Structure 1
Amino acid sequence: MQESYYVGAYWGPRKETALECARRAELFFHMLARSDPSFAQWYRAGRGFPRELPGHPVHPEVKELEKLLLRSKLRTDVDKEVIEDMGFRQMVWNAKKEATEINLYCGKHSPWGGPNSCLLKPTREGAIRERLLRTPVLAEVLTSMATAWDPDFAMASSDEMVSLVQKRKWEVRVGWLTYLSRRLGTVPPLPAPVRIEPVGELGWLLVLSPEPMTASNPEHVAFTARVRELLDRAGLIARPEPKPTEE
C-alpha cells in the first residue's frame, strides 16, 4: 500500500498583508524550483485557461502572487464581507494528472481555528514520486519552506506515520525530516543516525534517516517515536491549543 507522504510547514497567528505574503511566496517558489525539475511551473484554477494546460500558469513574481492572494480572501457566507483576520489561501499544482499540489494558508492572525501553513503533497506518479521522496530533495523542500515562511516547525512524513507517532492533537509533528525553529528552544542530543543541520539563523533541520522512513516498518516507527519523546522532554513538542471556532 502506497503511503500518503507530504511536506508541511506550520506557524501560529501572524498578521501579514497580501504583499508581505507574496514576497515570501516568491522566495519559496524560486527556491523550490531548484529542488526538482517538476517544480519549475505551477498552475491555478480559473475560467478560460487553454485545454492543453493544467490551468492558468502562475508566474512566481510578487505582483502576480499578491493579486492571487487578494482574490483568495475568505468572506462571510451571508453578506460576503472579507474576514480580514483569516488571511489568504491559495492552491496550485504542476500537472494535468497525478500532480504535486501546494496548499498555502498565510496572513492569518485570528486566535480562532488552526495555524497558517504551507503543504506540499507529492504526485502519485511512480518515477517522479520516487525521485521526490529522497532525503536530499525533501531537505531542500523543507529548507525552502523554512527560509521563506519562517514557520514554527515543518516536517516530511506520511499520514500513516504521523497517526502512529503523534500523541496530542496540537503538537510539533516529528517526521522522517523535521525542521524546528529556534523559537521553540534548543535541540537536545539525539541518537544516531539522526543528522542535525542549521537552517541559517532560523532553526535546525533534523534528518532521522538517509533512507525513506515508512509506517510499515516497526523499527522506523519506534525510532521516530523515540526521537519525538526526546524532543518532548526538551520542551520542543507541546503546542498551545487554539481556541475553538465560534458557533
Structure 2
Amino acid sequence: MSMQDDFYAGVYWSGRKESADECARRAEVFFRLLSQCDPTYARWFEQANSLKKALQLQFEPTYETLLRFFKSRKYNEGAFGVGFSAWTGHEEDGHGGSVMLSCGSAVTPPPNNCLLYLPDEGPAAERVLTASVLTEMMRALVLAWDPDDGGVYSQAYQELRDQPVGPPHMGWLMYFSHRLGELPPLPAPVRVEPVEDKGSLIILTPERFNGHDPAHVALADQVRALLDRAGLLEDLCPG
C-alpha cells in the first residue's frame, strides 16, 4: 500500500499595490469561480479563536461583504494590504478546506499570495484531488488574482527536495504567467494548457501525483531541471 501524499494550492505575485476595493473585486471572482469547482467550497466562515464562535461567522462572499471585511481594522494591514482567511465549516480534520489571502501590497519582499488548503480525506478528497477539478481550481486562482506563478504542491515532494536550488517550486500542477517567459518543451505525460491570455498551466501526471512514488519524483525532477534551465524558477516564492 503506497503512502499518501497531501496537497495545497497557491498562487503568488510580486508587489502590486491595490486598494481594498480592487482586492474585494478579485476575491469575489475567486470565491465565485471556486464554488463552481466542487460543493466543498459552497459555504464560507470567518475564522475565530474557537470552533463554536467560528461556526457563527458564516458569510456570503459577495463584493459588498468582502469590501466591508477588507476595509476593517481586523483585516486591513495598511502598507501590507489585506490579510484575510476563511474556512468551509467542515469540522472533521481533512474533510474541508480553507483560504489564506494576502493582497494589495507593494512592499518588498511581497507577501501577495492566495493559498488554498485542500481536503485530504473522505468523498471531497476523492472528488477534488483529480487533475480535472484541480485544473479548474487553478484557473479560478489565476483568473481572479493574475499571479506570476503558482501550483498544486505535493507536501511529500517538498519535504524530499527542500534544499537543492531554493524552494521546491514543483507541483502536480504548476502555473507560469507569460510575464515570466516561454515554457520549454516538456516530456510525456506532461500536459500544458493555456489559461486564457494570462499564462500556461502544466499538469505533470493525469493520475494523482504522489511524492512517495519514485517514477513521479523522477518526472518532477526532470521537469524541474528543464524549467530551471529556462529561467522560470528564479525569484519565485512559494512557501
| TM-score, normalisation: structure 1 | 0.86
Q: Return closer, same or farther for 1:177/1:240 CA change in 2, 3 Å cut-off.
A: closer
Written as runs of structure 1 = structure 2, the 5 A alignment for 1:88-103 is 88-97=82-91, 98=93, 99-103=96-100
Q: Residues 239 and 170 from structure 1, CA distance in 2 versus in 1: closer, same or farther, beyond 3 angstroms?
A: farther
In 1, Cα distance between equivalents of 2:50 and 2:151: 36
Deviation digits for residues 100-119 of structure 1, max 9, x if unmatched? 1111111111114x531111
Match for residue 17 of structure 2? 15
Q: AA paired with 1:104?
A: L
Q: Displacement, 1:222?
A: 1.1
Q: Please, which runs of 5 or more residues in structure 2 have no aligned partner?
A: none
Query: For 1:53 and 1:96, how far apart are their aligned partners in 2?
Result: 11
Aligned ranges for residues 191-206 of structure 1 at < 5 Å?
A: 191-206=187-202
Aligned CA-pair RMSD: 2.2
SS in 2 for 1:197: strand
Structure-2 change in CA distance of 1:133 and 1:240 (3 Å) = closer
How far, CA to CA, are the matches of 2:7 and 2:56 in structure 1?
A: 24
Which one of the candidate residues 88, 103, 106 is aligned to 1:106?
103
CA contact (8 A) 2:46 2:54 kept: no
- Determine if contact 2:30/2:141 at 8 Å carries over to the other structure: yes
For the residue of structure 2 that corresponds to 1:209, the secondary structure is coil
Q: Which residue of 2 aligns with 1:80?
A: none
Q: Confirm or deny: 8 A CA contact 1:164 1:221 kept in the other structure.
A: no
Residues 1-247 of structure 1: matches in 2 within 5 Å?
Answer: 1-45=3-47, 54-71=55-72, 72-74=75-77, 84-97=78-91, 98=93, 99-112=96-109, 114-165=110-161, 167-169=164-166, 173-239=169-235
Percentage identity across paired residues of the two chains: 38
Question: How far is the alpha carbon of 1:165 from its aligned partner?
Answer: 3.8
CA distance in 1, matches of 2:196, 2:68: 30
Task: Please state whether the residue corresponding to 1:16 is helix, strand or coil.
Answer: coil
Residue 124 (structure 1) shift: 3.5
Structure 1 residue runs of 4 or more that deviate by more than 4 Å after TM superposition: 46-49
| 1:240 Cα offset (Å) | 6.8
Number of residue pairs matched?
229
Q: Is the 8 A contact 1:54 1:96 kept in 2?
A: no
**Cα shift at 1:95:** 1.9
Question: 1:47 Cα deviation (Å)?
Answer: 9.0
Q: TM-score of the superposition, structure 2-length normalised? A: 0.88
Q: Secondary structure at the match of 2:222?
A: helix
Q: Specify the SS of the correspondent of 1:215.
A: coil
The corresponding residue for 1:78 is none
- How far off is 1:127 after superposition? 1.7
Deviations 1:110-154 (CA, angstroms, capped at 9, x unpaired): 114x53111111124322112111111100010000110001111
